[in-house]
Chains A and B, each alone.
Chain A
C-alpha cells in the first residue's frame, strides 16, 4: 500500500511538472523545431547497435517501434501503449506468449508497406543478430526470448523462455527501431546499411545530415497516428559544449535540449528570460552507483564496505547537492519511481540510509575498528565528466573524511576509466548507470556478481538465486518483497555495491514549445510527434 502511494505520489509529481499549463491549449500545426543534441555526433544511426542518446535524439523521430512508453504519460514507469501494434496483448501460455496485431496501411519512407514480417525481422535482428552484427542489448533479450515469428503479415508472436514482468518494459525499448525486412535480408545491404542510412516509418522523414553539425527531417504526410506530427520540420543541432547550448537557448538559436541541464543553467535562463522559459523536472533513471573491488583488501571485508556506505549522509546531502548538481532523489538500487522500489521506511532499514547519520557513522567507525581498517587511505576512481560525476565524487571524499578515512579522487577520461575498472585497478569506483525504460528487473543486473559493470565483484550464489527467483515471479506484491530483500542483501548484508543519490533531470526550454512531456529517461519519448509550437509567443 505504501509503495502504491509512493508510486502514485511520484507519478503525480512527475505529471504536474510535465504539464505546465497546457491543459486547455489547442495544438497548432506547422513550424520548425530547432533542438540541441548535447553530443558531437552519433557513432552511427543504427539504434539496434548503439547505446548513446546521441543516436536516439538524432534518429528517433524517423522510426516507429512496436510498443512504447505512453507519450502522453511518460512519467509513469508502467504505462505502455502500442505504436505499431493495434492493442496491447494479454499474454497466453502461462504468460510465455505475447501476440501482437500490427497496424495496416503503415508505410516506410520509401513507400514500401510495413508489415508484421518487418517487425519480426527487426526484433530477430536485435535479439539474435547474425554473425558480424553488433546488437547492444541482444544478450538481455536472449535471456528472456526463445523465439520471434510472424505467422502472417498482420501478426507477430514473441515466445518467452519463462513468464516475466520484465518483458513488456524491455519491449518498449526506444532503440528498437523497426527496419525493412527486405533491406535486412538484402546481401548487398543487410543490417549494417542502417548504420549510415535512415529509413523508417516514424513521424518525420529524414531529409539531411551534416556530419557532427546537424540532422534535419520533414513531416511524414503518411504518418499513421492521425493528426500527428504537428511540426513541419525538425532541425537537431549537435552542440557538445554546455555553455553553447545555454547561450543558444537564451538567444533562441534553439528552443530546447532534451537531455538535461544543471541547476545553474536552469536558474540562469529563468533569470534572464523569465516566463519565456519553461522548466520541466523529473527524477532521472540514472543512479550514482558505488562499486567496491572485493578482490582487493580491505574491501574484501563486508564490514569495510558497509562502513563506507554508512558514512554517507544521503538524506542530508541530497537537498544541498541538488542545488548545484543533477542529483536529487534518495533511493536504493531500484529506481525510486518504480512499484518495486523500497519505500522510505523500508529503505531506512538498510545500511547507509538510516535516518540518524550520527548513529550511522558511529556504526561505521565500529565496523572499521573491528575490521582493522581504521583511518585507511584509498582512491575513488571517477570519470572525467563534470555533472554529476565530479560533484558527487568530491562530496563522497568529504563524507568519508567524517569517519577518519583519507580518500583522494582518481579522475580519468572515459576509455582509461573503463580500462582501470576492467583490469581491477581500483578500490572503489563511482559508476553512474543510466537506463532507458524503467525496468527494475533488468536494471539491477549490473549488481549481479557476473555483470560487466560489477568488475570488482566476487561469486555469490545466494545473490544469483535471489535474482532469478525475483525475475521469474509474476505476482507484483511478492516481487516487491523480493526486490526489497535483494536490495537489502546487495547494499547492506553483503554491501557488494550501493546507490548514492539518483539523478534529477532538468529541462529548461523556450515556452513556445508545447506538448513535450518529461520522462524519467532522456532516451524515451523522443520521436517529437506530439510537440507543437505556439507561434504567438515566439519572441523573434
Chain B
C-alpha cells in the first residue's frame, strides 16, 4: 500500500509540469494580449505608446523562455505572481473566490450522493418497474439538460412564483456573503446553484449506481449469499453496494474536481464570484499569470481527487493494493 501511494504521488510532478508547459504555451498562442484588451475593451481609443508602456510594465515584451522560467520558479516557491489584469497578487484573487466554488461544490456533491446512491440502488432493485422508469427518466433528463439552463429556469420560476403568490418577484441575493458572517443569507445565495448543479451531478451518479448494482447483483457471490439464506438487507448493504460503489466513487471524485473550476456558466447565471467565473474572465482578458495559476490549481485539485479515488479504490478492493 505504501509503495502504491508513493508511486501515485511521484506521478503528480510530471503531470504538473506538463500542465504548466501546456497552459503557458496555449495562452501565448492566442492572438492579442492583456494590454490590448485592457486598453481597448471599453471601446475607447488608445495610443501605441500606451500599449508599449503596458507591455513593458507587465513584462510580456520579454522572451517566452524568460517568462516560462519565471513562472516555473514562482511555482516552486508557491508564488504565482501578480494578476496582469488587476495588479493584485494572484493568490489573493484566487483565495477570495475559492470558498464560493468550494461551498457550491461540497453542497452539490452532498446533494448528488444523497440522491444518487439510494435512488440508483432502488432503481436497480426494482428493475423494469414504474419506480425504475421514473428514476431513469429523472436521471436522463438531468444528464441531457445543461445545468446553466436549469439555473436560468429555476430563477425564472422562483421570480414568477413569488410574484404570483406574494405580488413581488424574489430572487436569491446576488452579492455573496460568507457562511460565517450570515449563514441564512449565504445559504439563500448558494442553495439554488447547488441544487441545479447537484441535480445534474446526481443524475450521472444515479445512472452509474444503477448499472453497477445490476451488474453486481448478477455476480456468483451474491447468488451464493442468497443461497446461504442471508437477509436481503445484508446482501445489498454489505456485499452488493460496497462493490457497486467502486465506479460511483470514480464519478463522484472526478465530478467534484470538475465543479471547482468548471461551474463557468452556472456561476455567471447566479452571479457567483467563483473560480469558474474567474477562469473565464482571466482567459477573456488574456491575463497570463492568473490563467496559469488557475489551471494549476484546478489540475492540482483534479490530481488530488484522483489520488483520493485511487486510495478509496484500494481500500474498498483489496485486490488493487495487493497487486
Contact = CB atoms under 8 A, between A and B. Distances in A.
Contacts of B278: 212
A40 B38 contact: no
Contacts of B159: 247, 250-251
A415 B31 contact: yes
Given A211-B86, A415-B36, A436 B49 contact: no
A134 B286 contact: no
A414 B281 CA distance: 12
A87 interface: no
B42 interface: yes
Contacts of A446: 45
Interface of A: 40-41, 43-44, 50-54, 132, 134-136, 138-139, 195-196, 210-214, 235, 237-241, 243-244, 247-248, 250-254, 272, 286, 412-420, 422-423, 432-436, 445-446, 451-453, 539-540
Contacts of B46: 51, 136, 452
A214 B38 CA distance: 20
A83 to B, nearest CB: 21
The 6 tightest CB contacts between A and B, nearest first, are A415-B32, A419-B31, A434-B43, A419-B32, A52-B42, A418-B36
A240 B32 contact: no
Interface string B45-78: 1111111011001000000000000000000000
Interface stretch (B10-18, B90-98, B127-135): B90-98
B284 A239 contact: no
B251 to A, nearest CB: 29
A248 to B, nearest CB: 5
Contacts of B315: none
A239 B48 contact: no
B129 to A, nearest CB: 41
B169 A250 contact: yes
Contact of B41 (A52, A248, A251): A52
Given A196-B87, A210-B176, A419-B36, A436 B44 contact: yes
A237 B176 CA distance: 10
Interface string B169-182: 11101111000000
Contacts of B43: 286, 432-434
Interface string B260-288: 00000000111101000110010011100
Nearest to B31: A419
26 contacts: A40-B281, A43-B285, A44-B86, A52-B42, A132-B57, A134-B50, A136-B39, A139-B47, A211-B86, A211-B92, A212-B278, A238-B273, A244-B269, A247-B155, A248-B171, A250-B171, A251-B171, A272-B169, A412-B31, A415-B30, A415-B36, A417-B32, A419-B31, A434-B43, A445-B45, A452-B48
Contacts of B50: 134-136, 138-139
A270 B193 CA distance: 28
B87 A195 contact: yes
Contacts of A417: 32
Contacts of B175: 210, 213-214, 235, 237
A418 B40 contact: yes
Contacts of B44: 51, 136, 433-436
A103 to B, nearest CB: 29
A432 B45 CA distance: 10
A538 to B, nearest CB: 11
Contacts of B31: 412, 415-416, 419-420, 423
B270 to A, nearest CB: 7
Contacts of A415: 30-34, 36-37, 284-286
Nearest to B93: A211
A226 B219 CA distance: 84
Contacts of B45: 433, 445-446, 451-453
